[in-house]
Amino acid sequence: MTRKAVQSSPAIAPSNGATLVSVAKAASVSLATASRVFSNPELVRRDTAERVLRAAGELGFRPNLLGAKLRAQRTRIVGVMLPTLENAVFAECWRGIEEAALAQGYSLMLVTSRYEPERERERIEYLLRHRVDGMVLTVADAARSAVLDQLDAEGVPYVLAYNQAPSRGKRHSVSVDNRVSARAGVETLIAAGHRRIAVVSGAFVASDRARQRHAGYQDAMRAHGLESLPPLSLPAHTPTQTPADVERIRRLIAAPRAPTALFCTNDMLAIGVISILKRLGLSVPGDISVLGYDGIELGGLLEPPLSTVVQPNNEIGARALARLLERLKAGGSGGSPGRGVPRATLLPHVVRAGATVAPPA
Amino acid sequence: MTRKAVQSSPAIAPSNGATLVSVAKAASVSLATASRVFSNPELVRRDTAERVLRAAGELGFRPNLLGAKLRAQRTRIVGVMLPTLENAVFAECWRGIEEAALAQGYSLMLVTSRYEPERERERIEYLLRHRVDGMVLTVADAARSAVLDQLDAEGVPYVLAYNQAPSRGKRHSVSVDNRVSARAGVETLIAAGHRRIAVVSGAFVASDRARQRHAGYQDAMRAHGLESLPPLSLPAHTPTQTPADVERIRRLIAAPRAPTALFCTNDMLAIGVISILKRLGLSVPGDISVLGYDGIELGGLLEPPLSTVVQPNNEIGARALARLLERLKAGGSGGSPGRGVPRATLLPHVVRAGATVAPPA
DNA sequence: CTGAAAGCGCTAACAT
DNA sequence: ATGTTAGCGCTTTCAG
């Protein structure tokens, strides 16, 4: 029975194998009491607690969250799935999430999906294996997402970020109103005098936001008696500048009745498009106006600063996490507390003027 | 044990606490065998394995990594600490890390330090509590880092990314040669005819890379008999455009013998500086040249594309992770000698021409 | 308030 | 090749 002399030292040497048991021993209390000092201090007498704390300090005790999580059947880990961090929108969102989680003592596990539904599945499964308590995620298409259906079926609590859930649906989300805000953005273009406005987007199939924003564009055009132009759909949501991309832009602006303003469904795209336009010899906004969407900080640091529809990215992340924690505390599993509370939170947007939009030539 | 579970209609209630035990039971094998099917399949006969797998599928079994980790005393989780994701350099690096980890079946836990040593400590402690097997990190100052000292003392394996460890030191790192590459960059400025070149940096105290790059600048200047100018040190490493920042740039370029070229210690800074210069009425590179450092993709998407010293960001991340896993597999604990292998890996840099550098007016 | 005891789900000796 | 058996470090009833 004695398994002495395990000759090869095992994996990681935790520097000092101080465990709760050793702390309890050193403080002459039971394991249970030592545990309580860390998780429910109010159940322990002050001096007892202090004794334990002192022992812990002397032994260099570091709680092993694994043990706690396993036993407690709850990890206090939130899984986060974002399309990519290379688009600053999501990096800013992550920041909001991380701050909020830190403040509440929750841990995070981040995965990126690259806008690929296949990869979404795989990464979610990975989070599930880690027994995250819940998730904050941005999916390609919330309306038809295998991943979300699975999560619903399994009763895993989650909150969508950026994806805008139907207002009276069952899903929780934190976003701006993509359609309404896009319409507001396009209307500033119209107000500036533009009549021929085109949308430039990444592949619509990979982003429900892009589609909603396009719908907002159509709303604006229709409301002002203008004709919607066919959108220019580029392959990626992050900008690329392949010859093919350049050629498509060139054709777009060389057409007989070319648009005088472009509405890009995200800022990164807008930045890439502006560069291409400049290389094609056009001046922005002199020859053509460009409006972005997202409000990443970078946009404001450029010259001219990007005109764009601003969403509160940090806050979207922070609020999504906060909402998730509310759910976790309230119902535990997938339950549905919160009677009158709308599940789809819409945060306010702002159209930032910038300087990439001007009246048409 | 008498009769096997009749699972005629699986009624896959997912996430229903199917455990290895229940799977083993359903497949009429022992817990150990069931376990082996997932961790050491080669120790199990094919048909047995298939039976187990089938049972697992029917029960909707999802391994609980917590149990495995706790027992195995090794989590297969790597902690990652980066200053921020809002600087695209680190977002690109993260991508390399995530891909590499995914490929090797390792999990990640990400924290950001914001370049604050205080926060570094705190976030590292957090990772340690999660019993990560090792870490990939970028610290403010590798030479005097309380965090690194602690990690060394505790024997926690880690690999630095971006921080460049001394070539014959004990620390592992993956980076470019900051000083040499910066010198190479500045020499392209000199080759273009510039004599008065100034460095623009974030707070040096918060970044050893910035200091090394500044040293490279001095090397270049000295080697060409030029006088180093005092650096302009801005408060943050991410660009801000406060009136104070603008004023400092204005004074810099309004001086009697103002620099004709600026070397910014990172790309984000360079992008911000270029905008400020433009707003001050200067043209880049017509009136003044700007060279960046990092080679983030964004730089190439701007017009004019940013001239910069390119580091392979994805690869830095991927290699740092790979190096860490080698260490993990080799020694387990912290202090394996590793004979002839240099611990500081230097990846090649490239000076990308871009179009923000031109001969002085 | 504190203690004793029973595991959480899984892996790894050690047997067979 | 498979089974048995001990726990990993912690939380949590249930009793004092």
Residue B327 corresponds to which tokens in the numbers above?
């260490």
Taking an 8 Å cut-off on Cβ atoms, the answer to whether B66 and A69 are in contact is yes
CB pairs A-B closer than 8 Å: 147
**Who has greater pLDDT, B296 or B169?**
B296
pLDDT at A309: 98
Check whether residue A277 has its CB closer than 7 Å to nucleic acid strand C. no
Of A52, A69, A62, the C-alpha closest to A17 is A62
In sequence order, which residues have a C-beta less than 8 Å from that of residue B184 and are 6 or more positions away?
B216, B220, B309, B349, B351
Q: What are phi and psi for residue B223, nearest 5 degrees?
A: -60, -25
Taking an 8 Å cut-off on Cβ atoms, the answer to whether A15 and B155 are in contact is yes
Q: Quickly give B324 CA vs D6 C1' distance in Å.
A: 32
pLDDT at A69: 87
Residues of B in contact with A75 (CB under 8 A): 66
Residue A58 corresponds to which tokens in the numbers above?
């002397």
Nucleotide with C1' nearest the B70 CA? D8
DSSP A296: -
Which residues share a beta bridge with A82?
A: A112
Helices B46-59, B31-39: inter-axial angle, 10-degree rounding: 90
Of A187, A193, A191, the C-alpha closest to A216 is A187
Distance (Å, whole) CA B179 – CA B195: 19
Q: Virtual CA dihedral for A295, A296, A297, A300, nearest 10 degrees?
A: -50
Tokens 């859930």 locate to A165
CA distance B224 to chain A (A): 34
Neighbours of A19 (CB within 10 A): 18
pLDDT at B3: 29
CA distance A65 to chain B (A): 6
Q: Which residue intervals of B255-311 are DSSP H helices?
A: 267-279, 297-301
User: Which residue in A9, A62, A130 is closest to B65 by CB distance?
Assistant: A130
Confidence class for position B204, pLDDT limits 50, 70, 90: confident
Of A210, A280, A290, the C-alpha closest to A241 is A280
Q: Best residue in A82, A85, A99 to probe B by mutation, most B CBs within 10 Å? A: A85
The predicted model gives B243-271 an average pLDDT of 94
Residues of A in contact with B303 (CB under 8 A): 274-276, 278-279
Taking an 8 Å cut-off on Cβ atoms, the answer to whether B332 and A95 are in contact is no
Q: Quickly give B346 CA vs D10 C1' distance in Å.
A: 43
Nucleotide with C1' nearest the A74 CA? C8
Distance (Å, whole) CA A320 – CA A175: 9
Evaluate the CA torsion angle B192, B198, B200, B204 in order and state its sign: positive
Of B25, B27, B32, the C-alpha closest to B52 is B27
Residue B232 corresponds to which tokens in the numbers above?
């302009």
CA distance A153 to chain B (A): 7
Q: Quickly give A316 CA vs D15 C1' distance in Å.
A: 48
| Residue A259 contacts residue A226 (beta carbons within 8 Å) | no
Check whether residue A16 has its CB closer than 7 Å to nucleic acid strand D. no
Taking an 8 Å cut-off on Cβ atoms, the answer to whether A239 and B110 are in contact is no
The predicted model gives B89-95 an average pLDDT of 98
Q: Quickly give A67 CA vs C5 C1' distance in Å.
A: 17
Half-sphere exposure of A68 (CA within 13 A, CB side): 17
Check whether residue A1 has its CB closer than 7 Å to nucleic acid strand D. yes
CA distance A226 to chain B (A): 32
Question: With 0-12 CB in 10 A as exposed, 13-18 as middle and 19+ as buried, what is A230?
Answer: exposed
| Residue A85 contacts residue B94 (beta carbons within 8 Å) | yes
pLDDT at B12: 26
Neighbours of A25 (CB within 10 A): 15
Helices A88-103, A267-279: inter-axial angle, 10-degree rounding: 160
What does the pLDDT look like over B16-56, one tens digit per residue? 678 999 999 999 999 999 999 998 899 999 999 999 999 99
Q: What are phi and psi for residue B292, nearest 5 degrees?
A: -105, -170
pLDDT at B340: 62
Show which positions of strand D are touched by protein (CB under 7 A).
1-13
Taking an 8 Å cut-off on Cβ atoms, the answer to whether A62 and B133 are in contact is no
Q: In what order do the strands lie in the sheet with A289-294?
A: A232-233, A197-201, A261-264, A289-294, A307-310, A350-352
Check whether residue A2 has its CB closer than 7 Å to nucleic acid strand C. no
**Maximum pairwise Cα distance, chain A:** 88
pLDDT at A342: 78
Residues of A in contact with B108 (CB under 8 A): 109-110
Nearest residue in chain A measured CA to CA from B19: A129
CA distance A67 to chain B (A): 6
Of A173, A176, A127, A167, the C-alpha closest to A147 is A127
Show which positions of strand C are touched by protein (CB under 7 A).
1-14
Taking an 8 Å cut-off on Cβ atoms, the answer to whether B126 and A107 are in contact is yes
pLDDT at A276: 95
pLDDT at A122: 92
The CA-atom distances, in angstroms, between B121 and each of B126, B157, B334 are 9, 16, 19
Of B322, B12, B7, B49, the C-alpha closest to B174 is B322
Could you check whether the bond before residue B285 is cis, i.e. omega within 30 degrees of 0? Answer: yes
Helix (H), strand (E), coil (C) string for B226-263: CCCCCCEECCCCCCCCCHHHHHHHHHHHHCCCCCCEEE
Percent of chain B with pLDDT over 90: 79
Nucleotide with C1' nearest the A31 CA? C3
| Residue B308 contacts residue B267 (beta carbons within 8 Å) | yes
Taking an 8 Å cut-off on Cβ atoms, the answer to whether A108 and B109 are in contact is yes
**CATH numbers and ranges of domains, chain B:** 20-71 (1.10.260.40), 77-176+313-346 (3.40.50.2300), 178-311 (3.40.50.2300)
Q: Is A174 helix (H, G, I), strand (E, B) or coil?
A: strand
Check whether residue B19 has its CB closer than 7 Å to nucleic acid strand C. yes
DSSP A50: H
Q: Could you state, in chain order, the average pLDDT of each consecutive group of 10 residues for chain A (361 residues)? A: 30 60 94 93 92 93 90 92 96 97 93 93 92 96 93 93 93 97 98 97 88 97 97 82 90 93 96 95 97 97 97 98 92 51 91 97 83
Q: Best residue in A7, A8, A9, A12 to probe B by mutation, most B CBs within 10 Å? A: A12
pLDDT at A203: 83
Distance (Å, whole) CA B72 – CA B111: 24
| Residue A203 contacts residue A232 (beta carbons within 8 Å) | no
Check whether residue B44 has its CB closer than 7 Å to nucleic acid strand D. yes
Q: What are phi and psi for residue A78, nearest 5 degrees?
A: -110, 130
Give residue A235's Cα distance to chain centre. Answer: 21
CA distance B149 to chain A (A): 13
Residues 59-118 of A with CB under 7 A from strand D: 61, 63-64, 66-68, 70-72
pLDDT at A341: 67
Q: Is B307 helix (H, G, I), strand (E, B) or coil?
A: strand
Check whether residue B20 has its CB closer than 7 Å to nucleic acid strand C. yes
In sequence order, which residues have a C-beta less than 8 Å from that of residue B211 and are 6 or more positions away?
B204
Residues 47-66 of B with CB under 7 A from strand D: 48-49
Taking an 8 Å cut-off on Cβ atoms, the answer to whether B94 and A88 are in contact is no
pLDDT at B108: 95
Residues of A in contact with B275 (CB under 8 A): 301-303, 305
Residue B81 corresponds to which tokens in the numbers above?
């600490």
pLDDT at B339: 55
